Amino acid sequence: MKIAVLGDTHIGARNDSPIFDNYFRTFYSEVFFPYLQQHNITNIIQLGDVFDRRKYVNFNVLKSSKQYLFDQLNLYRTIMLVGNHDTFFKNTNNVNSPDLILKEYGSINTVSSPREYEFDGTQILFIPWICPENEQEVFEAIENTKAQICCGHFEIQGFEMYKGSIIDHGLDKNVFSKFELVLSGHYHHRSTKQNITYCGTPYELTWSDYGDQKGFHVLDTDTRTLEFVPNPRLMFIKHHYDDKDKTIEDVLLDDFSIYKDTIVKVIVRNKTNAYWFDMLLDKLQKAGAVDIQVVDDHYNLNLEDDKDIVDEAEDTLTILNKYIDSMQIKTDKKQLEHLMRTLYTDALSLE
C-alpha cells in the first residue's frame, strides 16, 4: 500500500498572512491532491503542527483552509498527529486545536496520545508531541509495540531544524532503534539518518527555507521505501542585479513571470544606472511580486553566495544563536539558546 506523508502544515503561518494562505492553497489544489488522485492514493499521514499558533486560530484562515485542505483530507483516510504548535498547554496534549476544530470530519483521525493503526496488514505506531503528562505512556508504547514503523512529532538530537541548524538536545535516536522506519514532523528541514527521516515542511515558510527543496513523501508499506515528491512552487526568490558592462536588454529581459505571488530579495552588486534599476523594480511589481526587499552589496562582498548574506535571509533564531555564540559569558550557551528558542516559540503565539 502507498500512503501520502505530509509534514508540518502550519495553517495560519506568518500571522495569518493572506499571501501565505494563498500559497498553501496553490500547493494543495495544484500539487498535492492532484498527485494523490493521479496515483490512486487513498491514505494520508500528517505529522503534526497542523496549525501554526498554540493559543488561537484566525477564523478567516480557518474558513479558507477548510475549503482547500480539511474538506479534501476528509475524502481520504487521514491520520493526523498533534504537534507542539497544536497544544494550548506545555505539559499536556489534552487541549489541542485538531481535536477541537476538526471533529466534524469523520475521516480525519487526530492522534493526541499514542495509538496504532493498520494499513493493509502493516501496523504503524503514531506518537504525538511528547510532554510531561504523556512521557511515560509514550515510552511504554514504544517498548511494547510490535509495529515496525513509527510516525511521530519528535525532537531528536543531531538533526537539522533548518538547513545548517543542528539541534543538540532532545531524544537520543537509539530510542527508536527497534523500528525499521521512523517518520517525524517538527523539524522543517528534510533529512535522513539511519532509520529516521524528518519529512520537512511541504512548502517554504521563512527565508531559512530558501534553497531547501520542499514537498511531501509517499510511503510504500510493502517495501518500506519513501518516494519524495517535490513542490515546484516557491515563495522566496533572490534576484541578483549587476548592470556593470551590461545593456538594458541584459538587465530587463529576464522571465519575470516566475516572480508572481513571491517574496523577492534583490541583491545589488553594481548599480550604475539608477533608471534601469527603477525599471527592474517596476517590472517586479507588475509581475505580481508581493514583497520586494533590496540588499546593497556596494562593497562587492560577493553576496551572490547566499551563505554570506547576513540580513532577513536568516531567521530570527539563527541570528539569536549567532549572537549568543559571539558572547563572552560563563553561562552554558546551549542552555541559553534553548531558553531563547522556547521564548521565541511562545512569542509567536501572542498577538
Banded model confidence at residue 302, pLDDT cuts 50, 70, 90: low
Statement: residue 301 has pLDDT above 70: no
What's residue 25's pLDDT?
98
Q: Residue 89 has what pLDDT?
A: 96
The predicted pLDDT at position 315 comes to 57
Stretch 202-228: mean pLDDT: 96
Closest CA to 98 of 18, 88, 24, 312: 88
Half-sphere exposure (Cβ direction) of 201: Cα atoms closer than 13 Å:
28
Higher pLDDT, 11 or 305: 11
Across the chain, mean pLDDT equals 91
Taking residues 17-28, report their average pLDDT.
96
Q: Which three cell numbers stand for residue 338?
A: 534553548
Residue 328 has pLDDT above 80, yes or no: no
DSSP state for residue 31 in the 8-state scheme: I
Residue of higher predicted confidence among 236 and 323: 236
Whether the Cβ atoms of residue 2 and residue 219 lie closer than 8 Å to each other: yes
Q: Note whether 308 and 301 are within 8 A (CB).
A: yes
User: At 351, is the pLDDT very low, low, confident or very high (cuts 50, 70, 90)?
Assistant: very low
pTM assigned to the model = 0.86
Residue 311 confidence (pLDDT): 43
Of the chain, the percentage scoring pLDDT greater than 70 comes to: 92
Distance CA 211, CA 110 (A): 32
pLDDT for 310 equals: 41
Mean pLDDT of 184-210: 97
pLDDT at position 307 is: 46
The rounded distance, in Å, linking the Cα atoms of 233 and 258 is 10
Is the pLDDT reported for residue 350 higher than 70? no
Distance (Å, whole) CA 59 – CA 117: 32
Residues 250-274: tens digit of each pLDDT: 888 878 999 999 999 999 999 999 9
The answer, yes or no, to whether residue 335 has pLDDT greater than 90, is no
Distance between CA 228 and CA 253 in Å, rounded? 34
Cell of 208: 531559512
- The Cα 252–Cα 221 span in angstroms is 50
Distance of CA 191 to the CA centre of its chain: 13
Phi-psi region of 143 (alpha: psi -120 to 50; beta: other; left: phi over 0): alpha
Calculate the CA 262 to chain-centre distance.
17
pLDDT in tens, 114-150: 999 999 999 999 999 999 999 999 999 999 999 999 9
Superfamily of domain 2-230: Metallo-dependent phosphatases (3.60.21.10)
Question: What are the extents of the domains in the chain?
Answer: 2-230, 236-308, 316-347
CA angle centred on 257, ends 253 and 262, rounded to 5° = 120
pLDDT band at residue 164 using 50, 70 and 90 as cut-offs:
confident
Q: Which residue has the higher pLDDT, 301 or 325?
A: 325
Q: What is the pLDDT of residues 89-107, one digit of tens each?
A: 999 999 999 999 999 999 9
